[in-house]
Amino acid sequence: MAETILVIDEGTTSTRAMLFARDGRCLGSRAEDLTQHYPQPGWVEHDAAEIWAKTARCAQAMVDQAGGADRIAAIGITNQRETIVFWDKTTGEPLAPAIVWQDRRTADLCRILKDRGEEPGVQARTGLLLDPYFSGTKIAWGMANWPQLREAGERLAIGTIESWLVWKLTGGLHVTDATNASRTLLMGLGSGGWSDGLIDLFDAPRDALATIVDCAGSFGETTLFGGRIPVCGLAGDQQAATIGQACLTQGETKATYGTGAFVLSNAGSAPPTSKHRLLSTVLWQLNGRRTYAIEGSVFVAGSVVQWLRDSLGLIAQAGETEALARSVPDNGGVYFVPALTGLGAPWWEPQARGAISGLSLASTRAHVVRAALEAQAHQSHDLKTAFAADGCDWARLRVDGGMVANDWIAQDLADMLALPVERPAFTETTALGAAMLAGVGCGMFADLCQAATAMRGEVRMFEPQLDGNAREARLAGWQAAVKAVAG
């Protein structure tokens, strides 16, 4: 029996394929960068055809490395959530640019709907808030502004990225898993199905939407890589990372620091309700039964490092940031609020803009870079406060993502949150979670607990070390800075 799992991890800035052994070892990886398109301020687009072409190349490379399609037991897919793709069912080609989760073009629409009093009803049905982040407003904008979508009629297909990839892999299967569907503003959180009222609110053509399915199972097969490989695992990237971190019991919490930062806490089998502007979402669905999570979403995390490098030229590569942060004893009074695409939870201010405050003649490049890194712990503390107010405080935090490969950031999180921070030796837990789901879906493992026991490796702990007075002083400075931006 084939015992390797091929994972497609389609992110915001790159797409990659990874090969996993049954014991969780990563046997290979191939990635390609994705082009970011910014046609107007606040707009972010991808070319779905580019996503597919580069994903297919990466996947083929991993199939070749495995020794052929017959060596692969299953494919798992995890993806950037909320990004929406419009394509032609007949040709299988995109009809418009993909609107990325970071895109802010629907801020005015969200404001109109809020002013009409729609948000409480939307939150009650979906667990989400009215924000440009989510797919429903993107669909509404596309249908109103791109005539080719309306002209396509019955040929129009709409889906999140995993839906697009499954369509291309299988030659026409139109499905979406429950985790991605729960991020669209179109799915009832309790029912697990599309809501007629929400579909009408956002002018979404029902026939263009995918069928909602579990996160593990048999979702068709692909024959594109020299043999038949079943597609058996699907989940949005943050849910997949939560699974990869083995947060399988209610209350267990992880944070992923990638392009953005996303904290999810396992909320059990009942849909949770937040009174402090956090999100309720599906964590996974197996055999038609859903497990839920409370989520806090920060829009800018690792992308601020990219911005420091590419737009300001303060660093030549991301790896410089740790040494720069350590080169000064503190932030020198400098605070960086990285609202480069608005503020996410718990503020939800899509039109907020970033700010660097507290500059003086004594401020250096190192202070600005350190302040940018410190912002990750500051934003995480805001989320922790909101989680605690909703009765979901964190006992420890499991972290992953590219940013926390930086030991300084991991320690700063422990210091500012005043709790243990646990980092796995293998930090690509998003892909690992997709591999676990695919392993369950193809019968390699009986359940997620067995998959996590087999595949999750060693961890390192970071314990709080910062003096309490210094911690409170930093948080006070942050609160003043972020309130000036949010206000």
Q: Three-state SS across the chain?
A: CCCEEEEEEECCCEEEEEEECCCCCEEEEEEEECCCECCCCCCCEECHHHHHHHHHHHHHHHHHHHCCHHHEEEEEEEECCCCEEEEECCCCCECCCEECCCCCCCHHHHHHHHHCCCHHHHHHHHCCCCCCCCHHHHHHHHHHHCHHHHHHHHHEEEEEHHHHHHHHHHCCCCEEEHHHHCCCCCECCCCCCECHHHHHHCCCCHHHCCEEECCECCCCEECCCCCCEEEEEEEEHHHHHHHHCCCCCCCCEEEEECCCEEEEEEEECCCCCCCCCCEEEEEEEECCEEEEEEEEEECCCHHHHHHHHHCCCCCCCCCHHHHHHHCCCCCCCCEEECCECEECCCCCECCCCCEEECCCCCCCHHHHHHHHHHHHHHHHHHHHHHHHHCCCCCCCEEEECHHHHCHHHHHHHHHHHCCCEEEECCCCHHHHHHHHHHHHHCCCCCCHHHHHHHHCCCEEEECCCCCHHHHHHHHHHHHHHHHHHHC
Strand partners, 298: 261
Residue entry with tokens 């700010």 = 355
pLDDT of residue 299: 83
Q: What is the pLDDT of residues 340-385, one digit of tens each?
A: 888 887 888 878 899 999 999 999 999 999 999 999 999 999 999 9
Contact criterion met (CB below 8 Å) for 347 and 48: no
Pairing label, strands 175-177, 211-213: parallel
pLDDT of residue 175: 97
The alpha carbon dihedral of 258, 259, 261, 262 has a sign of negative
Instruction: Judge: domain 4-237, CATH 3.40.50.620.
Output: no
pLDDT digits (tens, 9 = 90+) for 169-227: 999 999 999 999 999 999 999 899 999 999 999 999 999 999 999 999 999 999 999 99
Asked whether 91 and 192 are in contact (CB, 8 A), the reply is no
Low-confidence ranges of the chain (pLDDT < 50): none
Structure tokens given for 127 = 């667990």
User: Which pair of tokens denotes residue 64?
Assistant: 């070749």
pLDDT for position 403: 86
Cis ω for the linkage preceding 94 (within 30 of 0): no
pLDDT at residue 458, as a whole number: 86
pTM, rounded to two decimals: 0.88
- Round the average pLDDT of the chain to a whole number and report it: 93
**Residue 267 exposure: Cα atoms within 13 Å on the Cβ side:** 25
Q: Which residue has the tokens 């890589």?
A: 225
